[in-house]
């Protein structure tokens, strides 16, 4: 069952990635989530560089939350990634949900990033 779920997510991710490409003026915000943590990167695909990265393991978030695998933690990650992006002058991004449904942690992260000033 688990292998099938992983394979289906990978198929969805490849299907989404065919159409999403981050450039310097509009980089890609990539989400990965596990049962315990949520990870986010802002990537410039032209150069192959990660511009900003953040997760529930980041020291700024880790001390503020009691459990890192829930929606509240994902919201804090969304706020932090938006703040870090603003410091670099990134305002507009392309959202790559990583093959996950736009629901729960992924939705909370995206909405928090939007409220903090990122446009996508």
Q: Assign 1 a pLDDT band (cuts: 50, 70, 90).
A: low
- Full residue range of the structural domain in which residue 54 is found: 2-115
How many other β-carbons are positioned within 10 Å of the β-carbon of residue 48? 7
Q: Assign 78 a pLDDT band (cuts: 50, 70, 90).
A: very high
Please state the domain count of the chain. 1
Q: How many residues does the chain have?
A: 120
Q: Return the pLDDT at 94.
A: 94
- What phi, psi does 118 have (nearest 5°)? -85, 140
Residue 64 inside a domain? The answer is: yes
Label the pairing between strands 38-44 and 49-55.
Answer: antiparallel
User: Per-residue pLDDT tens for 5-36?
Assistant: 889 888 888 888 888 888 888 999 999 999 89
* CA–CA distance, 73 with 39 (Å, rounded to integer): 11
Mean predicted confidence (pLDDT) in 94-119: 94
Residue 89 inside a domain? The answer is: yes
Residue 18: give its domain's CATH number: 3.30.420.100
Instruction: Calculate what percentage of the chain has a pLDDT beyond 90.
Output: 70
Task: Tell me the whole-structure pTM to 2 decimals.
Answer: 0.87
**Cβ atoms of 88 and 53 closer than 8 Å:** no
Residue 70 inside a domain? The answer is: yes
């Amino acid at each position: 069952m688990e292998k099938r779920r992983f394979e289906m997510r990978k198929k969805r991710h490849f299907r989404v990635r065919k159409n999403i490409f981050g450039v310097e003026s509009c980089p890609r915000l990539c989400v990965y989530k596990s049962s315990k943590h949520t990870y986010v990167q802002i990537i410039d695909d032209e150069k192959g560089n990660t511009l900003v990265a953040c997760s529930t393991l980041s020291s700024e978030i880790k001390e503020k939350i009691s459990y890192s695998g829930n929606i509240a933690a994902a919201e804090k990650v969304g706020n932090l990634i938006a703040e870090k992006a603003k410091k670099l002058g990134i305002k507009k991004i392309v959202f790559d949900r990583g093959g996950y449904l736009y629901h729960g942690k992924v939705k909370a992260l995206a909405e928090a990033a939007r409220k903090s000033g990122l446009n996508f």
